[in-house]
Amino acid sequence: MKNFFKPFTIFCAALVLLTSCSSSDDNATSSEFKIDNQSYTLLPTQGIVEQKMNNMITEQGQTFDRSTITLSGTSGTNIGTVSFDLYYKDGLPVEGTYSIAETFDDNDTDFFDDLVTNQKLCLGWTSMCAVFQGGSSIAINANNPVGTVTVTKNSTANYTIQYNGNFKKYNSSFQVIGTVPVVINVTSNVFIQTI
């Protein structure tokens, strides 16, 4: 009888492990993200918003599209918003991993050279995170994140956004006065607006 229980126990354990690992579901959601170590729950009626601008710029004979990906969520009476300003070669999907360029303005030739070389790039100065307390006053305002952001297109109407890094806080003289940690691993339906 001992010989029966050991293989049976191993079989049952394997069965539990295999059945608990399911394939990806296009409608799966993970709706929490963090700004400054505070969790925010994605607004269920909004999901992820992509504002897409086709043929936004032409640089060195190549045309690029622009998408701003925005997540907004609540934590009590606070509202947290994070957005990433993504540029990618026309004809390529928005999906991919984007390095974040730390450039001061759109006239910086380094940004455009890097964009042409990499075909995809996130513009840090126009990416931002903000927290509004009680829906009125601004508690956090930061931009120019460091690192990379990844967009995964699970279906035509469902994305996963991943980011783990810091946004920078600046004073009125554009000097860095602190950082805001942001952690995103959100899968949700996406609302696409073509502008």
Would you give per-residue pLDDT tens digits along the chain (195 residues)? 444 333 333 333 332 222 223 333 444 458 899 999 999 999 878 889 999 999 888 888 999 899 999 999 999 999 999 999 999 999 999 999 999 987 655 555 678 788 788 889 889 889 999 999 875 677 889 999 999 999 999 998 999 999 999 999 999 888 999 999 999 999 999 999 998
Q: Kindly state whether residue 17 falls inside one of the protein's structural domains.
A: no
Is residue 143 situated within a structural domain?
A: yes
24 found inside a domain: no
Q: Which amino acid is at 129?
A: C
pTM: 0.80
- Total domains, the chain: 1
Q: Which domain holds residue 34?
A: 29-194
Cα–Cα distances in angstroms (integers) from residue 96 to residues 20, 102, 149, 161, 169, in the given order: 28, 19, 8, 10, 27
**Spatial contact of 129 and 140, defined as CB atoms under 8 Å apart:** yes
Could you tell me the CA-to-CA distances from 164 to 10, 11, 13, 20, 52 in Å, in that order?
Answer: 38, 38, 34, 27, 24
Task: Establish how many alpha carbons lie within 13 A of residue 27's alpha carbon, considering only the half-sphere containing its beta carbon.
Answer: 1
